[in-house]
């Protein structure tokens, strides 16, 4: 009886620890190999274009409506206290410190992280990664390093775009719907929001980007079982990345504030 209860729990714990250790080793190895030639600049630029440039549309759309919705929801509460002038700084602070890095990372996870896991998973099950070894090419150096580096750099850039577009969305609602004057909106944002708030969000985005790259590449390179295994690895990478983004966001916020 006890064996039936505790065996699945034990297997889950062992598998989780094995997975955590594997991702940690892959993450540290990708940082180590980053400083050794050959430096594959073309692969890095290709990944930056895929992860960053091709995500701008969805980031812009999400950022615009996030800023507008939060401003609209905040206006109902602030109107009760006749403090509509605080809508701008409240929403912009939320965007720069929390919403921009977290939502940008989630968008990248769903769009690019799953694609990276599926691509590397396909290479794994079709033995293309084994073929790299036979050609004396280090798979981590060739496949993982450009993706992890590109993800680490692209997510903070997308987070900045998210904050900017979200602020525009907040401005539209606050000025044209709530009817706060533009000068009051700008003055209040400048008074309450400073560069430390922006840097807090950017530092979080750097970590989230690194996390997405490592998790996606690890799950892709560990895929097995044909097409079904590729799909499972892509799904698992998105779910795990999303959970760890929220978990690490809380931990980082606790240490930064």
pLDDT digits (tens, 9 = 90+) for 222-241: 888 888 889 999 999 999 99
pTM across the whole model: 0.92
- Residue 133 belongs to a domain: yes
CA distance 241 to 237: 6
- Residue 45 belongs to a domain: no
Please report, in tens digits, the pLDDT of each residue of the chain (257 residues total).
Answer: 666 777 777 788 888 888 889 899 999 999 999 998 888 899 999 999 999 999 999 999 999 999 999 999 999 889 888 888 999 999 999 999 999 999 999 999 999 999 999 999 999 999 898 898 889 889 999 999 999 999 999 999 999 999 999 999 999 999 999 999 999 999 999 999 999 999 999 999 999 999 999 999 999 998 888 888 899 999 999 999 999 999 999 999 999 87
Q: Identify the domain containing residue 191 by its residue range.
A: 54-256
- Residue 28 belongs to a domain: no
With DSSP H G I counted as helix, E B as strand and the rest as coil, what are the percentages for the chain, rounded to 5? 90, 0, 10
Number of domains in the chain: 1
- Residue 216 belongs to a domain: yes
Write the pLDDT tens digit of every residue in 122-155.
999 998 988 988 898 899 999 999 999 999 999 9
CA distance 25 to 187: 48
- Residue 197 belongs to a domain: yes
């Amino acid at each position: 009886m006890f064996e039936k209860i505790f065996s699945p729990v034990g297997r889950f714990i062992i598998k989780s620890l094995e997975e955590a250790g594997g991702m940690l080793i892959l993450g540290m190895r990708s940082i180590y190999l980053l400083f050794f030639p050959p430096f594959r600049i073309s692969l890095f630029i290709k990944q930056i274009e895929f992860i960053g440039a091709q995500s701008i549309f969805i980031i812009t759309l999400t950022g615009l409506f996030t800023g507008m919705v939060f401003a609209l929801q905040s206006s109902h509460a602030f109107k009760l206290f006749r403090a509509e002038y605080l809508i701008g700084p409240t929403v912009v602070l939320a965007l720069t410190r929390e919403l921009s890095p977290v939502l940008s990372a989630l968008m990248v996870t769903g769009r690019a992280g799953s694609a990276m896991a599926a691509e590397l998973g396909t290479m794994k099950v079709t033995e293309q990664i084994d073929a790299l070894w036979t050609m004396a090419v280090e798979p981590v150096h060739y496949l993982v390093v450009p993706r992890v580096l590109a993800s680490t750099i692209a997510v903070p850039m997308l987070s900045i775009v998210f904050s900017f577009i979200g602020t525009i969305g907040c401005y539209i609602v606050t000025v044209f719907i709530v009817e706060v004057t533009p000068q009051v909106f700008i003055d209040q944002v400048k008074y309450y929001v400073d560069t430390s708030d922006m840097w807090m969000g950017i530092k979080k985005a750097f970590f989230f980007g690194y996390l997405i790259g490592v998790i996606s590449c690890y799950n892709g390179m560990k895929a097995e079982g044909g097409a079904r295994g590729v799909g499972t690895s892509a799904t698992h990478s998105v779910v795990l990345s999303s959970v760890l983004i929220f978990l690490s966001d809380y931990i980082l916020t606790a240490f930064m504030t």
